[in-house]
Amino acid sequence: MDGNGRWANERGLARQQGHRAGAEHIRGVLERFAEHEIPVLTLFAFSTENWGRPRTEIDYLLRLAGRTIDRELDALHEAGIRLQHIGDLDAVPDALQRKVEAAVKLTAGNDRMTVNLAFNYGGRADVVQAVRQLVADGVQPADVTEEAITCRLATADMPAPDLLVRTGGEHRISNFLVWQAAYAEYYFTPTLWPDFGPADVDAALVEFSRRRRRFGLVPGNGADGAS
């Protein structure tokens, strides 16, 4: 969800106001993905690299995350959305940690769509912790398979992403789901996150529906999307 700072700059506002605008419209975006029956949506809200930002901005983002959960939780729950979390919550303030855990618990029985909040998440760190588990589990070298790693990632119980959307015009994944997105389709849009609305969700999904996914195979062999 990139582009909050630039959105604010363009309006002569403080970066914080861009973050706030970005958080305020999340509900409409989630609702549209749910209407399209997307089973799992992961939101990259705060990366392990974001700790390098000025302390005032970090503090604002942490408070904003808590406030957004407070404001949106009931509506999300009523809409049948299940909240999950990936990333290291130990490093965030206790109050936010408890809020996220309570939200996950409250919505655990919902099955319309899973919204997976990536907060203090880094794709490489996730692979590292999976490998640590693998070693701790005493897995022998011959048994170190892709599946053995995949099932130890924070996303173990979720499907690999089919579509990765990045707003804000940059063409990179910035340590998002680096392992999981190996065969994702990428959709880059210059639209800044606070301007990304339901119509942009539709546009991303239309573009996705036009892609022919081959997974490394050749067309005409069941892998060109025609079958």
Shorter beta-carbon distance to ligand IPE: residue 66 or 77: 66
Of 137-196, binders to ligand IPE (CB under 6 A) are 168
| Catalytic annotation, pick one of 50, 110, 175, 195 | 50
DSSP code per residue over 1-65: ---HHHHHHHTT--HHHHHHHHHHTHHHHHHHHHHTT-SEEEEEEEEGGGGGS-HHHHHHHHHHH
Tell me if residue 59 is catalytic: no
Q: Binding of ligand IPE at residue 27 (CB under 6 A)?
A: no
Per-residue mark of binding to ligand IPE, 46-75 (x: CB under 6 A): x---x----------x--------------
Q: Which is nearer to Mg ion, 82 or 119 (CB)?
A: 119
Q: Which span (3-11, 80-88, 137-145, 153-161) binds ligand IPE, by CB under 6 A?
A: 3-11
| In contact, 111 and 84? CB cutoff 8 Å | no
**How many residues form the binding site for Mg ion (CB under 5 A)?**
1
From CA 169, how far away is CA 188, in angstroms rounded? Answer: 6
Assess 120 for contact with ligand IPE (CB under 6 A). Answer: no
| Closest residue to bound ligand IPE by CB | 5
Least separation, in Å, of the C-beta of 122 and Mg ion?
15
Q: Does 1 bind ligand IPE (CB under 6 A)?
A: yes
* From Mg ion, ligand IPE, none, interface partner of 122 (C-beta below 5 to 8 A by class): none
Closest-CA residue to 115 (of 41, 36, 166, 65) = 41
How many residues sit in the footprint of ligand IPE (CB under 6 A)? 11
Nearest to Mg ion of 52, 216 (CB atom): 52
Residue 82 lies near ligand IPE (rule: CB under 6 A): no
Q: For residue 26, give Cα distances in angstroms to 15, 76, 221.
A: 17, 11, 40
Q: At 113, is the secondary structure helix, strand, or coil? A: strand
How many helices (H) and strands (E) the chain has is answered by 8, 5
What SS3 state is found at 212? coil
Q: Which amino acid is at 149?
A: I
- For residue 50, indicate whether it is catalytic: yes
Q: At a CB cut-off of 8 Å and minimum separation 6, what does 87 contact?
A: 46, 48, 117, 118, 119, 120, 121, 122, 154
CB of 144 to Mg ion, least distance (A): 35
Q: Is 2 in the site for Mg ion (CB under 5 A)?
A: yes
Return the CA Rg of the chain.
18
Site of interaction with ligand IPE (CB under 6 A): 1-6, 19, 46, 50, 61, 168
Residue numbers annotated as active site: 2, 50
Site of interaction with Mg ion (CB under 5 A): 2
